[in-house]
Amino acid sequence: MTHRIKKIIPAIFMLFLALFSFGQNADVAKSDGIGAESQEMYEKAAKAFEEAINAYAGQNVTDTFCIYHAGLNYSRVKQYEKAVPFLEKAIALDYSVVNGTKMLADAYTKLKKTDKAENILLAAREKYTANSFDFDKKLGYLYFNTGKYEKAANAFKTVNEQSPGKKSYMYMYAFALERTRKYKQAIDVFRELNQKFPTYKNGTKMLGITLFEYAEQQNKKIVASYNSKKGQSLDDYLVVKKKLDKIDQVYKEAQTKLNEAQKDFPNDKQITDILASIKKTLAKKH
């Protein structure tokens, strides 16, 4: 009996020593990850956190900090396939859910899985209503960057209502409206943006472009309507002329804004081409 106990005691000691060493290794790896992250060595940090996760798992310990930061740092070095499972697990464990969800959506977007990203953000917006503003912002940018401009406009409209007067949100809302050819609505927002932030170069440029697009749209519409009718009277002509004169004022406003924008964007071909087109259009009418 005593002989058997003598054999068991060293075995227990060795097991304890192994577990203690495993725990030490986990803590060291976690510390390495924190240090590497603080020095912006993100890939090294991600690998260290992953090592710590595996070491802790050997002790039946779940370290949510390591799980989240492994996903965070893999995202930072654009290793999205590796980032996704860690971020999903961190969210499932209710750790840094808002930031984790936004990062997870970004990762799926980068992996060209935009429907998945959209569904994640929509579900999070419904579940975490206190943070709906953050998710609406992410949805707005996701929709805009994937060409879903109608949805982008709706998302940024909500964002602007929740945080009015912010330059970037106003710009994106107006830009999304412009992309859907809702020029008049876009002009209203761009004008307000230009008044609030007169030195904002992109705002001035897009106001000029959108004014031109609206003028072109209306000009063609008015002329087409007039030409489609037969037997127009002098009164009909005068009505149309009055409408076209108003459109000329829009062309001129566009010209003024684009001349201003050209000082900041001297090599912008779009501005140069539009200014040439406006000059030609106005010359024909006078």
pLDDT of residue 19: 43
pLDDT of residue 158: 97
pLDDT digits (tens, 9 = 90+) for 233-249: 777 778 888 988 899 99
In angstroms, the CA 177 to CA 184 distance is: 9
The residue behind tokens 């464990």 is 93
pLDDT of residue 12: 46
- Confirm if 138 and 117 have CB atoms less than 8 A apart: no
Helix 201-228 with 269-285: angle, nearest 10 deg: 40
pTM value?
0.83
Confidence of residue 24 (pLDDT cuts 50, 70, 90): low
pLDDT of residue 223: 84
Element holding 280 (H helix, E strand): helix 269-285
Confidence of residue 5 (pLDDT cuts 50, 70, 90): very low
pLDDT of residue 18: 45
Q: Average model confidence (pLDDT) for the chain?
A: 90
Per cent of the chain over pLDDT 90 is 81
In angstroms, the CA 217 to CA 242 distance is: 16
In angstroms, the CA 285 to CA 83 distance is: 60
Helices vs strands, H then E, count in the chain: 13, 0
pLDDT of residue 63: 96
- Name the 3-class secondary structure at 93: coil
pLDDT digits (tens, 9 = 90+) for 118-136: 999 999 999 999 999 999 9
pLDDT digits (tens, 9 = 90+) for 160-210: 999 999 999 999 999 999 999 999 999 999 999 999 999 999 999 999 999
Q: How far apart are the first and last CA of the chain?
A: 116
The residue behind tokens 């697990």 is 89
pLDDT digits (tens, 9 = 90+) for 56-115: 999 999 999 999 999 999 999 999 999 999 999 999 999 999 999 999 999 999 999 999
Confidence of residue 285 (pLDDT cuts 50, 70, 90): low
Position 286 pLDDT exceeds 70: no
How many angstroms separate the Cα of 233 from the Cα of each of 50, 56, 168, 222, 247? 81, 88, 49, 16, 21
